Each structure stands twice: as C-alpha cells, then as structure tokens.
Amino acid sequence: MARRAARLRRAQWSPAEWATIGRQIAARCQALAPFAAARVVASYLALPDEVPTAPLIAACRQAGKRVCVPAYDARAGRYRFAWLTENDTLIQGRWGIPEPAAPEWVETPEETVHLVLVPGLQFDRARRRLGYGGGFFDRLLEGLAACKIGLAAEAQLARRVPVAEHDVAMDLVVTEKGLYPAPARRPRKSVPPSGRRRSLGRNDARDSDRDE
C-alpha cells in the first residue's frame, strides 16, 4: 500500500520538473564534504520518475572521479556494481533499468567505493528508505562502509517509512530543499546587552587609573 501510494506521488512530476529537481539536488550534493572527498562514486542511472543523476555523473567526470552503476549479473543472479565510462553503450537491463551493455565489474566495492547515490520510493527525516520491494539495492549496500546518500524530491519525504530488518539506512538524504539530518548549527556567541556597562569596583578603578 505504501509503495503504491509513493509510486503514484512520484508520477505527478513532469520530465521538466524532475530535471529542475535533479539540478538543485546536484548542486547540494556537490557542496558536501563526502562528495568532494570521494574518488569513486556509485550512482544509479535514473528512470523517468526518479531524481536524475546525469548532472552528478557529469560533475564526477569533470572532477576526475570514477563512476560505477548497478548492472544485473545473470551468472551471479544478482545486481553488482559495474564501471561506467563516457564511451559505454547503455541498454535496458532487467526491470527496464539502464546499465552498461558490456559491464566491467567492480570486484571489491567494499574497498573501492567511497560514496553511493541511492534512489527510493520514499525516505523519512530519520534517513530510513522505502525501496522498490525486491531488496536489490539493499543487497548492493551490504558490507559497504561508503557514505550512503538518498536522493529524493522534498515531497517524497514521509513522517515515518516502514522498514524491514534487511533495509539499510542512509547517512544523509538530500532533497531540492534541504539535507536530512540538517547540518548542526554553530552556537551563537552571547553578546552583552548594549547600553550596559559593568560598574567598576574599587580595585577595577585603580587598574583603570593605572592604564591611563
């Protein structure tokens, strides 16, 4: 029920609206320290009703980062990460998800990948993720110490997302309007009220006289 409602909600945005949301989210992601530090970024190749990742993939290439994406390994019977280059031909793989036509597998993603961009039907402010129901992406995330960033439109945030034991929480969720959890604010310095001066005691007055 929750997945059906989330799918219907995602279908309300036009391609132009998704493109705008994608550019805004890409700008927020590029300003994050984990993104700047990552040398290898795992991304998904977006379907029409997902946050577009093309701007972020382009930013990775421009910054000299390597990119890998999920692709279905028929021999293993599961999704794995495969390297993505500008020259790769993309095909519609299992479930219609774009993937490299001739995947070159990332052999040790737990050691290689530094940051993962994760799609989802819904997220909540506690960084829980509602996936598509097959557990494919959760299995990709198993054993990864990489920073996991969920990408979503602000309207995809729910008060609380139902999760199962195998569901992997995100380190951060980024929408076009903000970050969750929000960055900690620096404490404001206390400023004495204007117009008040501390009265000088006898000893203070002597010190003041010496300063003159």
**Domain layout of the chain by residue ranges:** 2-211
Question: 40 near 113, Cβ under 8 Å?
Answer: yes
The predicted model gives 188-205 an average pLDDT of 47
Cβ neighbours of residue 19 closer than 8 Å, sequence gap 6 or more: 52
* Residues of the chain above pLDDT 70, percent: 81
Write down how long the chain is: 212
**Per-residue pLDDT, 205:** 42
**Per-residue pLDDT, 185:** 55
**Per-residue pLDDT, 131:** 81
**Per-residue pLDDT, 182:** 66
Reported confidence tier of residue 118, pLDDT bands at 50, 70, 90:
very high
77: left (phi over 0), alpha (psi -120 to 50) or beta: left
Q: Give the CA-trace dihedral at 80, 134, 18, 146, to 10 degrees.
A: -40
| Average pLDDT along the chain | 85
Question: Which pairing describes strands 122-124 and 129-130: parallel, antiparallel, or unpaired?
Answer: antiparallel
Reported confidence tier of residue 134, pLDDT bands at 50, 70, 90:
confident
Q: How far is CA 106 from CA 67, 80, 212, in A?
A: 10, 8, 74
The predicted model gives 124-128 an average pLDDT of 91
Please name the residue that has the structure tokens 């990332």.
106
The predicted model gives 157-162 an average pLDDT of 88
Measure the CA–CA gap between 60 and 79, rounded to whole angstroms: 22
For the cut 70, the answer to whether the pLDDT of residue 121 exceeds it is yes
Q: What is 2-211's CATH number, 3.90.79.10, 3.90.420.10, 3.30.70.2170, 3.40.50.10420?
A: 3.40.50.10420
8 vs 198, more confident: 8
For the cut 70, the answer to whether the pLDDT of residue 16 exceeds it is yes
**Per-residue pLDDT, 94:** 83
